[in-house]
Structure 1
Amino acid sequence: MLDVNIKFKDMKISSVEEKDLIGIQKWMETNKVFLKEESTLEELKNRFLESYISECEFFFKIEKSEKLAGILKGRVEFKKQNELWIWFFYLDNICNNEDLRIDIIKYLMNYFNRRYGVNIFFARVIKDETNNIVFWKNIGFNLTRIVKDFYNVNGRHIDMMLMKKIGVSQ
């Protein structure tokens, strides 16, 4: 797992540790933006272990004023041109304002650009999540591909949109 401990403003972004999982699971239940199947402790442990055993994956907790405010999971791929893949990014309702979301993503993009030479960024978005699509477009991401029936939500197949951005914003 890629290990980070980043501080900016009153925010802290750091790698999830096993001891954090129960608190994150309770946070996920409270925020009600996750499917019941996604927010079980067993599923969360599986996601944690996926990240933990891979040196290129990350699973971050985002804290504001020392309280859990969000989570972000993804992967860095080291290629001819290094890439960052964001699989999911959630902030709670208290922190979920557009400016803060933008600040966090831009800060992380700049961090990965400086630290690992990442210059290509991808974000996965559920096709039905119009607000998320607009969010990623507002920071320079463009639709690069649609994967049909990627997600299965309660027996309903939903397309995944792959958004891409080349370069970082200062």
Structure 2
Amino acid sequence: MFDVDIKFEDICVNNIEEEDLRELREILRDKKFYLNDDELREIYLECYMSECEIFTKILKKGKFIGVFRGRIEFKSSNMIWISYFYINNKYSLKKSNQDILMNILDYFSHNFGVCDFITGVTNSEKDMIDMWKNNDFRTVRINKEFYSDKDYKEDLMIMKKYNSI
């Protein structure tokens, strides 16, 4: 797992540890894509074993309030693919969520030369789309029916923030 240690104001963003999984599961319980214990542990182990995976907990005054997950790629233009960013609604305010996200992105820009940040959002997640747009992410592609089975079809919007340095 890529080592992350971010501190600002009363927020800390650090790597998820195995003992954090139970608490992570609790704050994700009401989410659309809920994961059971085995699925969450499998994701943790995949991230733990990969040097470019980012899997962090977000703490406010020591309290577990959210998660940031992604993958860093060092290429001609260093980038991070953000697979998950979530702040528990109990602790979230629009402005503080944006501050947390921007501090995370700034950390990777300034410390590791990351220029591009990319994420995928389903078209039904209007609040998340607005949050990414408010942080200067722009839609670069739409994958039609990316999530699809006989009863469910949903597009995936790929959004990108350019030249963050």
Distance 2:146 2:51 in 1: 25
Counterpart-to-counterpart distance in 2, 1:152 and 1:93? 28
Check the 8 A contact 1:76/1:83 in 2, yes or no.
Answer: yes
Is the alpha carbon distance of 1:52 and 1:152 closer, same or farther for their aligned partners in structure 2, counting shifts above 3 Å?
farther
TM-score, length-normalised on structure 2? 0.93
Q: TM-score, normalised by structure 1?
A: 0.90
Cα offsets for 1:89-108 (capped at 9, x unmatched): 11111222111111111111
Give deviations 1:116-147, integer Å, cap 9, x for gaps.
11011112111111111111111111000111
Q: Which one of the candidate residues 49, 53, 65 is aligned to 1:69?
A: 65
Give 1:111-122 correspondences, 5 Å limit.
Answer: 111-122=107-118
Q: 2:53 aligns with which of 53, 57, 61?
A: 57
CA deviations on 1:66-94 (whole Å, 9 max, x unpaired) are 11100111011111000011111111112
Q: Distance in 1 between the 2:36 and 2:148 partners?
A: 17
Unaligned runs of 5+ in 2: none
Q: Percent identity?
A: 37
- How far off its partner does 1:168 sit? 2.5
Distance change (3 Å), C-alpha of 1:153 and 1:140: farther
Alignment match of 1:159 (pick from 148, 151, 155): 155
- Are the structure 2 counterparts of residues 34 and 54 from structure 1 closer, same or farther at C-alpha, using a change threshold of 3 Å? same
Q: Which structure 1 residue ranges, 4+ long, deviate > 4 Å from structure 2? A: 152-155
Q: Does 1:107 pair with 2:103?
A: yes
RMSD over aligned CA atoms reads 1.7
Q: 1:63 to 1:152 in 2, by over 3 A?
A: farther
Amino acid in the other structure paired with 2:20: D
Residue type at the aligned position of 1:47: I
Contact 1:106–1:168 under 8 Å retained in 2:
no
Aligned length: 165
**Match of residue 128 from structure 1:** 124
- Matches of 1:154 and 1:89 in 2, distance apart? 28
